[in-house]
Amino acid sequence: MKQTCWMAGLLLCLTACASAGAFDVNTDMGFGTNPNGVWSCGYVVGGDTALYNVPLFLTGDTTGLNVWSKDGETDPYGNIAKNTNAYDLGNQTWPNGMRWFAGKTHMMTPSGGAAGGRVTAIRFTAPEAGLYDIDVDFLKASTGEISTDLQVLVGGTSVMSKRVNSADPAAAYDGLSVQLSAGSTVDLLAIPVAGSGDWDGGFSITQVDAVITQVPEPITLSLLALGGLALRRKC
């Protein structure tokens, strides 16, 4: 009987913790609607953000690559792509050695590069007010010698900025218990670097791993403790 009650209390805690909400860009990224739940993707030009509006399901050498684009054009405005295969896609002869890792979401800088003034973006919008842990990892996927500036913005304020290249291909941001109001945003940006690579910083592919988790409020943890105590007494 005591073991049954202990298991019930554990299940209560696990259920409540799970309900707090974890949002994973690789798991959640869909190609039916944009925005899709808390995630949206598009490009920034002149400080204004516009959403990609046409999903593409590529074939041929890039079969299994799903892409969000502007008006069906994958290059001029950059894109967000997910490799749905169990293997990497890429070719050394493609611009800047384009590559997409298996099962991952990627950001591509616009083909116009820095001169085009466009920035590729993924946005998380908080579904409700609360504390959130923000875990973002970037990894340069292009095999060519090209640099990309990566940024994380929370509520429009930069909290991480790093230039990645072949010598230093990774960037990360770990924000613990960040207070967000309902509708607050977390933006992940890939910015072309002028004069970099063969296309002025364009056609640069960056893998994105982003998990944003809502943290249970202290009152929730207190209620869980009371619930567990009540179960123990009943046992």
DSSP state of 165: -
Cβ atoms of 180 and 155 closer than 8 Å: yes
Tell me the two tokens of residue 23.
């949002």
Q: Which DSSP state fits 36?
A: B
- For residues 179 and 124, what is the distance between their CA atoms, to the nearest angstrom? 14
Q: Are 130 and 218 in contact (CB under 8 A)?
A: no
Asked if 208 and 136 touch (Cβ cutoff 8 Å), the reply is yes
Helix (H) or strand (E) holding 176, with range, is strand 170-180
DSSP state of 220: H
CA distances from 184 to 20, 42, 59, 124, 180 (A): 17, 17, 37, 8, 6
Rounded to whole angstroms, how far apart are CA atoms 11 and 121? 38
Query: What's this model's pTM, rounded to 2 decimal places?
Result: 0.86
Output b/e per residue, 192-224; b: 16+ Cβ within 10 A.
bbeebbebbbbbbbbbbbbbbbbbbeeeeeeeb
pLDDT in tens, the chain (235 residues): 444 444 444 344 444 444 468 999 999 999 999 999 999 999 999 989 999 999 999 999 999 999 999 999 999 999 999 999 999 999 999 999 999 999 999 999 999 999 999 999 999 999 999 999 999 999 999 999 999 999 999 999 999 999 999 999 999 999 999 999 999 999 999 999 999 999 999 999 999 999 999 999 775 444 444 444 444 555 5
Cis ω for the linkage preceding 169 (within 30 of 0): no
